[in-house]
């Protein structure tokens, strides 16, 4: 393994770690509400897989820029912010794909309009998180540090 990650792969590592951390927190907080034993078993398996995946990803973080410990944020607030960001980002991707598969002009127009609204929502959520210090997009050291803290929170729930 090289001594450092390339910038582009470091950013991809950030994206997938943040996505998985938020997803893991969501799974863990939802699990107690599930009644079906079969669905509960699927959730438990997903949690196990995501925990193992995060542990593997965290092993690469020493190869990215890091800073000293910062104050920890409240788990719920971080979860809610990140969940909304991931939801809006995924919506943008889904709308984009749907548009490329749509032949009916009226439907395409509706999807494009909704895509633009989701892009704006994503930007609004990002700007909010940035102002709150929960998405330091312009400071890679803080961004990677935040990812590690978020993943550790998800693993400790």
State residue 123's pLDDT score: 95
Note the pLDDT of residue 65: 55
Contact 148, 61 (CB under 8 A): yes
Token pair 């990650």 in the structure block, residue = 5
How far is Cα 52 from Cα 93, in angstroms, rounded to an integer?
26
Per-residue confidence in pLDDT tens, the chain, 157 aa: 557 777 778 878 888 898 889 889 999 999 999 999 999 999 999 999 999 999 999 988 888 854 433 344 455 677 788 889 988 999 999 999 999 999 999 999 999 999 999 999 999 999 999 998 888 888 888 888 888 888 888 888 7
pLDDT on residue 67: 44
pLDDT at 79: 75
Diameter over CA atoms, the chain: 54
Q: Give the Cα separation of 146 and 121 in Å (integer).
A: 22
The sign of the CA dihedral 40, 28, 23, 80 is positive
Model pLDDT, residue 70: 39
C-alpha separations of 119 from 28, 88, 89, 94, 155 in Å: 28, 7, 8, 12, 30
């Amino acid at each position: 393994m090289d001594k450092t990650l390339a910038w582009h792969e470091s950013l991809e590592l950030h994206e997938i770690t943040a996505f998985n951390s938020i997803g893991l927190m969501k799974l863990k907080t939802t699990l107690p509400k599930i009644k079906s034993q079969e669905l509960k078993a699927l959730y438990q398996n997903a949690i196990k897989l995501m925990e193992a995946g995060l542990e593997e990803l965290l092993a690469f973080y020493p190869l990215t820029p890091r800073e000293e410990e910062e104050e920890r944020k409240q788990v719920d607030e971080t979860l809610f912010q990140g969940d909304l960001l991931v939801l809006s980002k995924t919506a943008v991707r889904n709308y984009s794909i749907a548009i490329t598969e749509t032949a009916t002009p009226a439907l395409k127009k509706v999807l494009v309009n909704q895509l633009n609204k989701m892009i704006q929502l994503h930007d609004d959520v990002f700007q909010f998180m940035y102002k709150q210090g929960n998405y330091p997009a312009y400071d890679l050291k803080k961004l990677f540090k935040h990812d590690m803290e978020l993943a550790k929170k998800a693993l400790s729930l």
